[in-house]
Structure 1
Amino acid sequence: MSDKVYVFDTTLRDGEQVPGCQLSTPEKIEIAKELEILGVDIIEAGFPISSPMDFNSVIEISKAVSEPTICALTRAVEKDIDFAADALKFAKHKRIHTGIGASDYHIKYKFRSNREGILERAIKATKYAKKYVEDVEFYCEDAGRADNEYLARMVEAVIAAGATVVNIPDTTGYCLPEEYGAKIKYLKDNVKDIDKAIISCHCHNDLGLATANTISGVLNGARQVEVTINGIGERAGNTSLEEVAMILQTHKDVDLHTNIQSNRIYALSLLVSKMMRMPVQPNKAIVGRNAFAHSSGIHQDGVIKHRESYEIMDPADVGVPQNSIILTARSGKAALKYHLERLNYDLSNERVEQVYEEFLKLADEKKDISDDDLIVLVDGKLPEGGFSFENVQLSYESNGQVTSTITMKVGSEEMTATATGEGSVEASYNAVDKIIGEKVNIDEFLVQSIGDRSDAGKVHVRVKYQEQMYIGFGVHQDVVIASIKAYIDAINKIASIKNKSLAGTV
């Protein structure tokens, strides 16, 4: 049996420190429940003394989940620890996470103290937290820049005082992977009773090395990783949960494992992105829109013939329904034929050659080729009919419900439907679904503001229909209308592929 690596998720604490991305208590509870299903071992629910809402969030998360350990952060201050203990009173499994700076930068400039004085405070805080809970984690802040000999003294002292987990943060993201791994090994080799505590990695991404440093720490004996969904966090962010989990899952030779249910990663990534209003960069490893997308003809041909030629993970392993073969000027005939067959075209090789010549000319003019473009290349025109947006009227209730009345043209016929939802976009999408007579599942929804108006935007929506993914775009000075247009754009692509354009037949 391989060694277990404990996953300590701090999305709701360190991750939420991103400016402008704060979560409400109900939102935190929803994410915490999903983290529990994902299989994380510890959820750092907040910093209770920092605000009344953080204090309440730790209480409510403690009530809402039962399997993971619920952790509350403190400084090495008795009042902080009192607040944390009080906030954790309903947790089935509870941990207090206290600590203090370990580097001379922090000791001299932040605390205006000396090494011995800081050591005394570390021991005192650990013993005080131990009065409340058995499970005490101690963080040696800025350990990445700390002197290893002094760091070892601090670690040894807090373990003797009762710490069950010792966190070795690369707080500023300074370390190189070899350097950070050597620091963990030094502690393993030089700290008395080091086996009485779990060593934890908490790495920041200031130099883009958070995941590499965390893996290096694990390979040198650390058995807990402190991570966030999508790698969110202060400054350049924290170590990404999905990256660490999939590295360990993919590299079976390292003989380490986590309890993460990897097929739930993508859905949780989307949820966190939506709730924190923080889009995931397209090229983000594991969960980015382009993580399983192929546009080079050589790569496309290889993936179509045998997926593992260019993919070391099955998209389904992380909850992505399928990879994407993107048509661009760099695509080859194999990719074109793949998409033509997906659109139910059975063309001879000679006809594919003819379409390919026209495709290359069009691809030189456009960044991406859509399904509509392919239909026009083959048939000379789009099918008659289609859906188009006409008008929307919104009304808002005191209970937060929104009513949306949508008018659309279906071919030459005008149709109207009314529906409700918890927001303007949800209500409008529900009304559109009434008109088309079928529910279409939203897989991804991203908004980008444009111009000087806060309500203007570009909307990207990806929907799933019969195991296929379709992308729609919308732009408007009103972001709700942009959202509706994006949704209808995706639906039109489904209708074009199915060669249907009447209400109720998408």
Structure 2
Amino acid sequence: MSAFPASKYRPFPPIDLPDRQWPSRTQTTAPIWCSVDLRDGNQALAQPMSVVEKLEFFDMLVRIGFKQIEVGFPSASQIEFDFCRRLIDENRIPDDVSIQILCQCRADLIKRSCEAIAGAKNVIFHLYNSTSPAQRNYVFGADRPAIKKIATDAVALMKAETAPLVAAGHRIVLEYSPESFTSTEMDFALEICEAVTDVWQPTADNKVILNLPATVEYATPNIHADQIEWMCRHLTRRDLTIVSLHTHNDRGTGIAATELGLLAGADRVEGTLFGNGERTGNLDIVTVALNLQTQGVDPKLDFSDLNEIREIYERTTRMDVPPRSPYAGDLVFTAFSGSHQDAIKKSWDKQIAGEPWDVLYIPIDPADIGRDYKAIIRINSQSGKGGVAYILENEYGFTLPKAMHREFGPVVNRLADTKGTELSAADILEAFQAEYLDRKQPIEVVDFRTTEKDKVVTCEADLVINGTGRTLTGQGNGPINAFVTAVREAELLEFEFLNYTEHSLGIGARAQAVSYIQIQPINGKPLYGAGIDTSIDIASIKAVASAMNRALLD
């Protein structure tokens, strides 16, 4: 029996929407994005950004492509006011970007906010007041009519105070938030939004923004979607309204709630980069935008250099992006599992330029967001043959035969077990060299010469065998065959020659040849050897000697 006091909590009531439409819809366009990093995100920082840092962050948001940026709560503090004025007075706001300011439904704060925005070409004036039963009862001690009057009086005052700015050619857009919308009765949420809209009188050229925030996430994402669809259906001026979402992440489902809210009819999304915000955070716009991109929808935001965006974010906010954070985390394009590594390599090799992205376990091409292919596979004791082969090929150019993957993978696993840590690419290369390229015991190839007559190749191989110099001779239909014959006649090792592959390593005059040769010793298991030299013949002979050494010491 659980000791958890379940009776202490109440389930969130469902919405009566039996013919809901959002489950069968597909998102095909990007929403209107609004960054609230400089207000909602900034207020949640242990050390808020300085003005210089906020300016750098604002410029970054503009480069990313945000056309709506909430810059602060200018009536709440002098610092916020001064920052807003600096953006305007220094002409830092592009003509196609609207700044958004937040303001409570209070007369003194509305008038102060109008001073802050004077001269700005495009402004979203964001008014809000709390509407939920708990807020009405515990905080305001007010009934529904009183709460509605707070909102409508504020909108009327804001409309009057901004009239001179509108007359001067500035664009003022009203955004209204019934704060704690998701905890408010649906009929009252609709009633107060309709009343505010009645006062504002939106037009086709200047729609009202009704922001429906999940200020605290209490319900599952499907209920949030039902709430949004219900509102969209019942708004009398839906065609003159931009329905906006502002989700938080208290249940850990803020992203899902936003995505379902968009399917439910919302037009606009407020959030922050990497989800910075109060408590468990705001919506992570990076994730939602790139989720759209993975579905073939242009997000209209540029995250092609996500590493730089993350660097500026972490430096100015003094927050860290977790290593498993979608798209931006250090480990999200990293595979430790051997089966994953193998699948990634095989599907990556078959990827065709110009065709839809279809690499297993990696839903987005890391190059599209400025991430490094080199970070895709890392090796530890849980890694498999595919990952090891990927590292050798992509870091150092060694293209191992597939059968050799199975042979070398366990070598690396044993090394990782011994070290007890993740292995670097240099560790993998060192292990490969020690296992194959640097083996000189008991046989070392010192020199190798061939002559050919009547299509018969004769070789002379100068070897050091167990510390003693020896020259072997043999004949065959090629250098390798001649050397194998010489080895057999010297009775060094009895084996069958199984497979041979080679490729160049590098380009130009300094390029070297790499040879991989597999042999089958009598009464032994098949083994590979590898050799490297500027001469392909000598590289092949070294590979045979490498395989023999591994067999003799097995």
Partners of 1:248 and 1:344 in 2: CA distance: 35
Partners of 1:191 and 1:378 in 2: CA distance: 68
Question: 1:26-65 to 2 correspondence within 5 Å?
Answer: 26-62=52-88, 63-65=91-93
Q: Are 2:370 and 1:319 aligned?
A: yes
Cα 1:39–1:289 change in 2 (3 A) is: same
Q: Which residue of 2 aligns with 1:374?
A: 428
Name the aligned partner's letter for residue 340 of structure 2. Answer: H
Larger radius of gyration between Structure 1 and Structure 2: 2
Name the aligned partner's letter for residue 289 of structure 1. Answer: D
Offset from partner CA, 1:208-259 (integer Å, 9 cap, x none)? 111111111111111010010010000000001111112223334xxx7542
Q: Which residue of 2 aligns with 1:183?
A: 227
Cα 1:356–1:19 change in 2 (3 A) is: same
Q: Is the 8 A contact 2:343 2:386 kept in 1?
A: no
1:355 Cα offset (Å): 4.3
Partners of 1:265 and 1:342 in 2: CA distance: 23
Q: Is the 8 A contact 2:85 2:116 kept in 1?
A: yes
Q: Is the 8 A contact 2:378 2:424 kept in 1?
A: no
State the secondary structure of the residue aligned to 2:382: coil
Aligned Cα RMSD in Å?
2.2
Q: Which residue of 1 aligns with 2:294?
A: 250
Q: Is the 8 A contact 1:201 1:217 kept in 2?
A: yes
From 220, 243, 252, the counterpart of 1:199: 243
Partners of 1:98 and 1:358 in 2: CA distance: 65
Partners of 1:13 and 1:176 in 2: CA distance: 26
From 405, 409, 434, the counterpart of 1:356: 409
From 7, 11, 14, the counterpart of 2:37: 11
Q: Which residue of 2 aligns with 1:332?
A: 384
Q: Which residue of 2 aligns with 1:229?
A: 273
Q: Are 2:183 and 1:145 aligned?
A: yes
**Structure 1 spans left out of the alignment, 5+ residues:** 382-506
1:380 Cα offset (Å): 4.8
From 297, 319, 323, the counterpart of 2:338: 297
Q: Is the 8 A contact 1:85 1:96 kept in 2?
A: no
Q: Which residue of 2 aligns with 1:156?
A: 194
Offset from partner CA, 1:64-98 (integer Å, 9 cap, x none)? 22132101111001221222222222422111111
Name the aligned partner's letter for residue 319 of structure 2. Answer: M
Q: Is the 8 A contact 2:339 2:386 kept in 1?
A: no
Partners of 2:219 and 2:87 in 1: CA distance: 34
Question: 1:31-110 to 2 correspondence within 5 Å?
Answer: 31-62=57-88, 63-66=91-94, 67-110=96-139
Offset from partner CA, 1:337-366 (integer Å, 9 cap, x none)? 221233426376587666433311121242
Name the aligned partner's letter for residue 116 of structure 2. Answer: A
Q: Which moved more, 1:63-72 or 1:149-158?
A: 63-72
Partners of 2:158 and 2:116 in 1: CA distance: 13
State the secondary structure of the residue aligned to 1:106: helix
Over the matched positions of the two proteins, sequence identity in percent amounts to 27
Name the aligned partner's letter for residue 320 of structure 1. Answer: R
State the secondary structure of the residue aligned to 2:69: strand
1:329 Cα offset (Å): 1.5
Q: Which residue of 1 aligns with 2:24?
A: none
State the secondary structure of the residue aligned to 2:110: helix
Cα 1:265–1:221 change in 2 (3 A) is: farther
Q: Which residue of 1 aligns with 2:258?
A: 214
Cα 1:380–1:265 change in 2 (3 A) is: closer
Partners of 1:359 and 1:31 in 2: CA distance: 44
Partners of 2:305 and 2:122 in 1: CA distance: 23
1:331 Cα offset (Å): 1.5
Partners of 1:160 and 1:264 in 2: CA distance: 44
Offset from partner CA, 1:99-130 (integer Å, 9 cap, x none)? 10121111111222111101001011112222
1:144 Cα offset (Å): 1.0
Cα 1:25–1:310 change in 2 (3 A) is: same
1:367 Cα offset (Å): 2.8
Partners of 2:285 and 2:87 in 1: CA distance: 20
Cα 1:337–1:2 change in 2 (3 A) is: closer
Q: Is the 8 A contact 1:75 1:100 kept in 2?
A: yes
Q: Which residue of 1 aligns with 2:300?
A: 259
Q: Which moved more, 1:242-251 or 1:184-193?
A: 242-251
Q: Is the 8 A contact 1:49 1:84 kept in 2?
A: yes
Q: Is the 8 A contact 2:103 2:109 kept in 1?
A: yes
Partners of 1:257 and 1:184 in 2: CA distance: 23
**Structure 2 spans left out of the alignment, 5+ residues:** 1-26, 167-171, 203-207, 349-358, 436-554
1:16 Cα offset (Å): 1.1
Offset from partner CA, 1:20-65 (integer Å, 9 cap, x none)? 1410111111111111111112100001122211111122234322
Q: Which moved more, 1:80-89 or 1:38-47?
A: 80-89
1:280 Cα offset (Å): 0.6
Q: Which moved more, 1:372-381 or 1:210-219?
A: 372-381
Q: Is the 8 A contact 1:175 1:213 kept in 2?
A: no
Q: Is the 8 A contact 1:99 1:125 kept in 2?
A: no
Q: Which residue of 2 aligns with 1:344?
A: 396
1:197 Cα offset (Å): 1.4
Name the aligned partner's letter for residue 16 of structure 1. Answer: N
Name the aligned partner's letter for residue 176 of structure 2. Answer: F
1:146 Cα offset (Å): 0.6
Partners of 2:264 and 2:302 in 1: CA distance: 25
Name the aligned partner's letter for residue 68 of structure 1. Answer: V
